[in-house]
């Protein structure tokens, strides 16, 4: 399509990040440099994950069209490294809980946006061929922003020393959900043979549910003591 | 945010040169990267003929195409690529498209030509010379139908038609949902091939008498000529002459003689009718009607063997002339042509007949005294399998004059075959005059065309409006996140108390 189309997709992908950054008050904390650091940590963690995957998970050699459940499950287990990375970012920042969570999540999600979406958008949405997938990709990046904020919040709660015993289980479940969300989505797609728009919808709903749950837990935890 | 960003970048670039390098080189690479081409569909297209004969241009004059596809039903065709199917092809619509200054014409040929209704094939065959004769500025391409192409055609058809009496909102919705296709050819502009050599092969079969004997020349030419050279696949003349060569080789001991029709008459069996058609040579024409006229001009007695009664019949130069062996195809040596197909059995019979006639001429058996049922070639002279293999091989490749290079496999294989049966096999090259060329051929006859799915500009505008609406909602939602937060707090507070 045209540069205009790329502009559309880019606006759809990027502006929610910008709005979130502005409205969440991060700009008042002068948090830009910290977000960049979080992004750098994201890069480092992804590099480690890639090295690990390439070393220990040889390419799946089963027949095409056959879904390798165990292999995919193991691979998404490696995404645990994201949790570690988020924790690392948050532990290096001093401040209130919300501030730490937002900085880590914003940096993380923005780094992901830049690294894994900008290039496909630039190359794909500007090409002659029209495809809905670039619009979908942009929506997907909005979803992943929410996802990372929820994930950072859950990690923050999990690493608190004063976490009540009754919170331990739901937080762990949410953590597991965050990590295995991509795997679950792939499973859905494989079992129910979903179309790309339905996948996006299911992803949005799932992410929304996870983030609502973590919001409630967070609110409870913050205001209980 | 941006001030902070610029500060950060400033520090970054000042502090370390390698970092600058790492950031800038990919950025530059990305900015200058060419637009990628992963097409929705990629297919091979065959361009219409383009040649000049005695300075007179024929066929299409262009090869480059980058326009949106339409069918003839659309109201505006100017600078659009008009797609037509052979089944709905009509010369009026073709002319209409060209008059409306269409950007290009793509004609989709069916996969199975013999399944087409005969009248459509016949009609198209008659149109071919007309299409060639009119000089066309825009490129005209032919493509073979497949499922993808058919679906592109139907989608284009739906988007091209039904835009007349709709309301603005409907049209808007229509443009948003319908798919357009951008047709792009990957090749370069067509240009004249300089110094092109047309190769002729010559071989001799000498009789015992030596030099003073008369000569019979058996000639066949690259007789595939259609509106699109790469897709005009058939020639029977080659098959004839190859087999003839083989037959004569087996019996070549006698003299050589002028060819006359009596031999043929004598050899003809009751089921094959044979007749002579006299035609005056029209010297004013750019092209000679029949091949033998070239000899006729030099006052050598000559004739062309053909199953067509007149040189004007469209079958002589058609891309519809596809090979398919069907038992029902009915054309024989003298019968009126029924369908453009090759029946190997008939071909073999005719070859045998021609060989027999030729042999009678050679051995002076054409007089009344010779027995009528004399068979000169008593053995199995024409082998069906071999003939069929030769025809198969020949029809598998285009042999239009602008495609048969002097290194092409057609020439070398033929040369090999002729060398097997004949002596002194030589090549002759015909080149056009450098300053005042009699003929000029052009390249880019076969190209790859891409069909990209595209949306109109209005769609982008619509999308921009929708996206800004969505972003506005997002902005409000994030601004008022506090509401959700307080709701969550209110909901969770009793819970906390109950702990």
> B233-253: per-residue pLDDT in tens?
444 444 455 555 555 544 333
* Shortest distance, CA A69 to any CA of chain B (angstroms): 31
* Shortest distance, CA B408 to any CA of chain A (angstroms): 37
Question: Which helix (H) or strand (E) segment is B451 a member of?
Answer: strand B446-454
Number of domains comprising chain A? 1
Q: What is the pLDDT of residue B471?
A: 92
Nearest-CB residue to B8 (from A8, A33, A164): A33
Chain segment B80-136, per-residue pLDDT in tens: 888 888 888 888 888 888 888 888 888 888 877 777 788 888 888 888 878 888 888
Q: What is the pLDDT of residue A60?
A: 63
Set of chain B residues whose Cβ sits within 8 Å of the Cβ of A32? 1, 4-5, 8
Residue of B nearest to A19 (CA): B475
A99-113, A152-166, B397-411: range with lowest mean pLDDT: B397-411
Q: What is the pLDDT of residue B33?
A: 52
* Shortest distance, CA A70 to any CA of chain B (angstroms): 33
Cβ-Cβ contacts under 8 Å for B113 (sequence gap 6 or more)? B121, B320, B322, B324, B340
Q: Is residue A106 part of a domain?
A: yes
Q: Are A4 and B1 a contacting pair at CB < 8 A?
A: no
Residue of A nearest to B39 (CA): A129
Q: Are A12 and B470 a contacting pair at CB < 8 A?
A: yes
Percentage, residues of chain B above pLDDT 90: 2
- State how far the Cα of B180 lies from the Cα of B87, in Å rounded to an integer: 22
Q: How many CA atoms lie within 13 A of B468 on its CB side?
A: 6
Percentage, residues of chain A above pLDDT 90: 15
Q: What is the pLDDT of residue A207?
A: 92
Nearest C-alpha neighbor of B452 from the set A224, A5, A32: A5
Whose structure tokens read 């092809």? B89
Nearest-CB residue to A1 (from B455, B470, B481): B455
Most confidently predicted of A159-163, A173-177, B262-266, B396-400 = A173-177
A90 within 8 A of A104, measured Cβ to Cβ: yes
Confidence label for A144 from pLDDT (cuts 50, 70 and 90): very high
Judged by a CB distance cut-off of 8 A, whether residue B457 touches chain A is: yes
Residue with more model confidence, B467 or B17: B467
Most confidently predicted of B184-188, B204-208, B348-352 = B184-188
Chain segment B448-481, per-residue pLDDT in tens: 888 888 887 778 888 889 999 999 999 998 888 8
Set of chain A residues whose Cβ sits within 8 Å of the Cβ of B470? 12
For the segment A114-140, the average pLDDT, to the nearest whole number, is: 84
Q: Are B492 and A223 a contacting pair at CB < 8 A?
A: yes
Q: What is the pLDDT of residue A48?
A: 92
| Pairing outcome for strands B41-47 and B140-144 | antiparallel
Helices A80-92 and A32-56 cross at an angle (nearest 10°) of: 150
Q: Is residue A9 part of a domain?
A: yes
Judged by a CB distance cut-off of 8 A, whether residue B429 touches chain A is: no
- 3-class SS at A2? coil
The C-alpha R_g of chain B, in whole angstroms, comes to 34
Q: What is the pLDDT of residue B119?
A: 82
Angle at B53 between CA B280 and CA B189, to 5 degrees: 150
The residue of A9, A19, A39 whose CB has the most chain B CBs within 10 angstroms, and thus the best one to mutate to test that interface, is: A19
Q: Are B471 and A124 a contacting pair at CB < 8 A?
A: no
Whose structure tokens read 């950025």? B27
Residue with more model confidence, A166 or B340: A166
Asked if pLDDT for residue B348 goes beyond 80, the answer is: no
Q: What is the pLDDT of residue B260?
A: 39
Q: Are B478 and A127 a contacting pair at CB < 8 A?
A: no
Q: Are A126 and B492 a contacting pair at CB < 8 A?
A: no
Confidence label for B378 from pLDDT (cuts 50, 70 and 90): low
Cβ-Cβ contacts under 8 Å for B259 (sequence gap 6 or more)? B216, B301, B302, B303, B358, B361
The CATH number of B41-191+446-455, from 2.60.40, 3.50.30, 3.30.450, 3.40.50, is 3.50.30
Q: What is the pLDDT of residue B244?
A: 57
The C-alpha R_g of chain A, in whole angstroms, comes to 18
Range of the domain at A137: 3-55+71-224
Judged by a CB distance cut-off of 8 A, whether residue B27 touches chain A is: no
For the segment B273-292, the average pLDDT, to the nearest whole number, is: 72
* Shortest distance, CA A94 to any CA of chain B (angstroms): 20
A196-210, B167-181, B255-269, B360-374: range with lowest mean pLDDT: B255-269
- 3-class SS at B211? coil
Residue with more model confidence, B322 or B485: B485
Q: What is the pLDDT of residue B468?
A: 92
Please count the residues of chain A. Answer: 225
Set of chain A residues whose Cβ sits within 8 Å of the Cβ of B475? 19, 23
For the segment B352-381, the average pLDDT, to the nearest whole number, is: 69
- State how far the Cα of A163 lies from the Cα of A171, in Å rounded to an integer: 10
Confidence label for B17 from pLDDT (cuts 50, 70 and 90): low
């Amino acid at each position: 399509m045209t540069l205009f189309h790329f502009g559309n997709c880019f606006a759809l992908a990027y502006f929610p990040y910008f709005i979130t950054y502005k409205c969440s008050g991060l700009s008042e904390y002068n948090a830009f440099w910290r977000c960049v650091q979080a992004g750098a940590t994201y890069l480092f963690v992804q590099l480690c994950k890639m090295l690990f995957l390439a070393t220990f998970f040889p390419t799946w050699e089963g027949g095409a069209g056959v879904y390798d459940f165990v292999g995919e499950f193991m691979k998404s287990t490696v995404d645990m490294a994201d949790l570690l990375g988020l924790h690392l970012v948050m532990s290096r920042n001093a401040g209130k809980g919300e501030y730490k969570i937002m900085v880590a999540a914003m940096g993380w999600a923005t780094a992901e946006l830049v690294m894994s979406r900008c290039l496909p958008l630039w190359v794909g949405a500007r090409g002659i061929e029209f495809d809905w997938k670039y619009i979908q990709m942009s929506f997907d990046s909005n979803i992943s922003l929410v996802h990372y904020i929820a994930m950072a919040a859950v990690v923050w709660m999990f690493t608190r020393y004063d976490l009540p015993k009754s919170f331990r289980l739901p937080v762990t479940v949410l953590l597991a959900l965050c990590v295995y969300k991509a795997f679950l989505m792939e499973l859905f797609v494989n079992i129910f043979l979903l179309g790309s728009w339905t996948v996006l919808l299911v992803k949005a709903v799932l992410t929304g549910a996870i983030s609502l749950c973590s919001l409630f837990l967070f609110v409870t935890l913050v205001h209980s003591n | 945010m941006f001030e902070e960003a610029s500060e950060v970048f400033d520090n970054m670039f000042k502090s370390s040169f390698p970092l600058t390098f790492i950031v800038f080189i990919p950025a530059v690479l990305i900015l200058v990267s060419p637009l990628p081409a992963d097409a929705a569909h990629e297919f091979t297209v065959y361009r219409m003929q383009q040649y000049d004969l005695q300075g007179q241009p024929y066929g299409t004059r262009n090869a480059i195409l980058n326009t949106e596809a339409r069918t003839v039903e659309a109201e505006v065709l100017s600078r659009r690529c008009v797609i037509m199917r052979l089944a709905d092809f009509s010369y009026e619509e073709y002319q209409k498209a060209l008059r409306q200054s269409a950007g290009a014409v793509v004609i989709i040929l069916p996969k199975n030509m013999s399944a087409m209704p005969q009248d459509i094939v016949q009609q198209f065959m008659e149109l071919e010379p007309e299409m060639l004769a009119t000089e066309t500025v825009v490129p005209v391409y032919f493509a073979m139908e497949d499922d993808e192409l058919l679906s592109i055609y139907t989608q284009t058809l739906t988007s091209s038609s039904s835009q007349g009496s709709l309301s603005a909102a409907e049209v808007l919705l229509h443009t948003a949902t319908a798919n357009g296709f951008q047709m792009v050819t990957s090749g370069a502009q067509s240009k004249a091939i300089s110094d092109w050599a047309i190769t002729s092969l010559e071989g001799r079969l000498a009789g015992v008498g030596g030099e003073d004997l008369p000569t019979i020349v058996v000639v066949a030419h690259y007789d595939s000529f259609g509106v699109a050279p790469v897709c005009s696949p058939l020639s029977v003349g080659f098959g004839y002459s190859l087999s003839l060569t083989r037959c004569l080789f087996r019996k070549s001991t006698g003299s050589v003689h002028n060819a006359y029709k009596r031999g043929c008459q004598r050899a003809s069996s009751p089921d094959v009718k044979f007749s002579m058609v006299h035609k005056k040579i029209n010297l004013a024409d750019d092209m000679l009607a029949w091949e033998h006229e070239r000899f006729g001009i030099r006052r050598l007695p000559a004739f062309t063997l053909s199953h067509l009664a007149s040189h004007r019949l469209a079958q002589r130069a058609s891309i519809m002339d596809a090979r398919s062996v069907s038992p029902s195809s009915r054309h024989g040596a003298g019968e009126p042509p029924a369908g453009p197909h090759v029946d190997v059995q008939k071909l073999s019979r005719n070859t045998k007949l021609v060989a027999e006639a030729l042999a009678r001429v050679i051995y002076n058996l054409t007089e009344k005294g010779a027995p009528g049922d004399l068979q000169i070639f008593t053995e199995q002279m024409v082998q069906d399998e071999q003939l069929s293999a030769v025809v198969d091989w020949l029809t598998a490749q285009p042999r239009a004059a602008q495609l048969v290079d002097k290194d092409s496999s057609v020439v070398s294989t033929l040369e090999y075959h002729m060398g097997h049966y004949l002596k002194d096999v030589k090549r002759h090259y015909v080149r056009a005059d450098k300053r005042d060329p009699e003929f000029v051929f052009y390249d880019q006859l076969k190209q790859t065309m891409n069909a990209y799915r595209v949306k109109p500009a209005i769609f982008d505008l619509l999308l921009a409006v929708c996206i800004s609406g969505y972003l506005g909602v997002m902005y409000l939602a994030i601004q008022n996140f506090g509401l959700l937060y307080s709701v969550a707090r209110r909901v969770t507070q009793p819970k906390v108390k109950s702990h």
